Structure 1
Amino acid sequence: MASEKAKELARKQKEQIRAEKLRKKNSDDPKDWGRWRQFTEAYKRTNEIDPSTRWWMLGVAVGVIVVIAAIGLLTNLAWWAWVPLALMSALLGAMLVLTRKARTAMITRYAGQPGSAEVALQMLNKRRYSYDLGIAATRELDLVHRVLGPGGIVLIGEGAPGRTRKLLSEQERRHGQVSYGTAVTTLMIGDAPNQVKLGDLQKRIEKMPKVLAPFQVTEVQSRLKALHLRNQMPIPKGPMPTPKGMNRAMRGR
């Protein structure tokens, strides 16, 4: 009797394992994909936007192999020593090219759409920076986002400049009431003068002068949570584009 129950339990476990494998195989969530599928999906999406991706990857890979092969031959190094190194280095070089191209492609794809700032904000160092999307909005989907990090509080606006600057000014005033001297910087996404291009947003934030130590960032974050609860503003209905799938594919998560 016990043996029959054990067999039945083992059968059910095998069925569950098969069902889970099938679910992951047909899943559209990058978290369920294997490394190879993540790589191929990222390549396909990037190449759709920038067809030169394949040639850059191939060129870098071939160049790396040629350089290492030349060094190996000139130094009379055994082939079994430099061939594996050349292949692995070529693969690494191609993946680095794909990573850079994928980031550029994501920015090109989402630029000008509501919520596009998330493309750049996802590239920030998660250990040093945190961000909140859409802390203020209009019905026309003009948005204000917030970043907290060593550079203090950064409020980022995207949308029609007239409406968005009004939102930014209001949020700057509210944040100034709870920041207790912490720097509050406002940035506007766009291509016009005095605006920050989407592709430059990450670097602009990371290059800001450091005004907060890690423990101070934690303190300010607690104050901002209280501010968010008091002044919580409903986001207009309707989905905002999310580039997380492509980004996760590149990060292997």
Structure 2
Amino acid sequence: MAKPQEKVSFGQRLKQIGMVFSFTAKRDKWFVPLAAGAVLIPLALTVVAVLAWGWLWLPIGILLALLGLLIVLNLRSNKAMMNAAEGQPGAAASILENMRGDWRVTPAVSSTTQMDMVHLVIGRAGVILLAEGNPQRVRGLLGQEKRRLAKVIGSAPLHDFLIGQGEGELPIRKMRMTLMRLPRALSGKDVNALDKRLKALSARPQMPKGAIPKNLRPNKATFRQGRR
């Protein structure tokens, strides 16, 4: 379930905007020129409007300049973050956890030591599996998770995507829009029930494979006494 957002003070909000501004300016060469244009063009029109119709247009012009700056910052910072996230292990889960809406994200429900991983997502679109890593290795993990989930999700839709740049893969910069466009097949109540069912499946204890270690085997004398 989406976590409730903590209240952020005005000073903290300004600090966050400054950090995003600095991050974007370092990674996007077009950000500063576009931001300058978004501010200067409305201000220039405001000067003309003030000279022609009076000072009433000054606050309107300032608000338009700030709005233009925020729009450019939002668009270019998203692009910069997507470029920075490309190829980073766990980036898909991190982006999803910060998406708007009710997205229940469980990172790395299945993984390897080579940083291949499959993330589980539950939402109004159903159950979604996102795979990151080497395509040859991660497809095996993806198949295992699909078979495991198919037994318990009932009629809920099951979607799977392999994040990457190859043929048939989903680029991480298109992931957010792709998931948002999936048809909504479940109600909020269905999402809650499915989330509880899958959490119970994950919490179910499993017997370890292989021989039982010697230090965990029952003592033979105790075993004989129990039989008597």
Same fold at TM > 0.5: yes
Matched, 1:224 2:202: no
Deviation at 1:117, TM superposition (A): 0.8
1:165 maps to: 139
**Cα 1:177/1:231, change in 2 over 3 Å:** farther
Deviation at 1:123, TM superposition (A): 4.5
Task: Choose 1 or 2 for highest CA Rg.
Answer: 2
**Cα 1:130/1:71, change in 2 over 3 Å:** farther
**Greater relative contact order structure (CA < 8 Å, 6+ sep):** 1
Report the 3-state secondary structure (helix = DSSP H, G, I; strand = E; otherwise coil) of the residue aligned with 1:178: coil
1:121 maps to: 96
Deviation at 1:69, TM superposition (A): 5.0
1:104 maps to: 79
Deviation at 1:120, TM superposition (A): 3.1
Letter in 2 for 1:50: D
1:241 maps to: none
**Cα 1:213/1:32, change in 2 over 3 Å:** same
Letter in 2 for 1:82: W
User: Could you tell me which of 108, 124, 134 is aligned with 2:108?
Assistant: 134
For residues 32 and 140 of structure 1, the distance between their equivalents in structure 2, rounded to whole angstroms, comes to 42
Letter in 1 for 2:133: G
**Cα 1:70/1:122, change in 2 over 3 Å:** farther
Post-superposition Cα deviations, 1:78-113, rounded to whole Å, max 9, x if no partner, equal: 21x211111122112111211111111111112101
Deviation at 1:130, TM superposition (A): 2.0
2:42 maps to: 64
Aligned ranges for residues 1-253 of structure 1 at < 5 Å? Answer: 34-70=12-48, 77-79=53-55, 81-126=56-101, 128-230=102-204
Deviation at 1:174, TM superposition (A): 1.1
Q: Is the 8 A contact 2:82 2:172 kept in 1?
A: yes
Q: Which has the higher helix share?
A: 1
Report the 3-state secondary structure (helix = DSSP H, G, I; strand = E; otherwise coil) of the residue aligned with 1:167: helix
Instruction: Specify every segment of 5 or more residues in structure 1 that has no aligned partner in the other structure, as ranges.
Output: 1-29, 233-253
Using the size of structure 2 for normalisation, the TM-score is 0.80
Using the size of structure 1 for normalisation, the TM-score is 0.72
**Cα 1:224/1:48, change in 2 over 3 Å:** same
For residues 163 and 218 of structure 1, the distance between their equivalents in structure 2, rounded to whole angstroms, comes to 32
Letter in 1 for 2:134: A
Name the count of aligned residue pairs: 199
Q: Is the 8 A contact 2:93 2:105 kept in 1?
A: no
**Cα 1:230/1:70, change in 2 over 3 Å:** farther
Letter in 1 for 2:26: E
Deviation at 1:63, TM superposition (A): 2.3
For residues 42 and 150 of structure 2, the distance between their equivalents in structure 1, rounded to whole angstroms, comes to 52
Deviation at 1:154, TM superposition (A): 0.5
**Cα 1:141/1:57, change in 2 over 3 Å:** same
Letter in 2 for 1:192: G
Q: Is the 8 A contact 2:35 2:72 kept in 1?
A: yes
For residues 42 and 184 of structure 1, the distance between their equivalents in structure 2, rounded to whole angstroms, comes to 35
Q: Is the 8 A contact 1:144 1:155 kept in 2?
A: yes
For residues 108 and 20 of structure 2, the distance between their equivalents in structure 1, rounded to whole angstroms, comes to 27
Letter in 1 for 2:195: Q
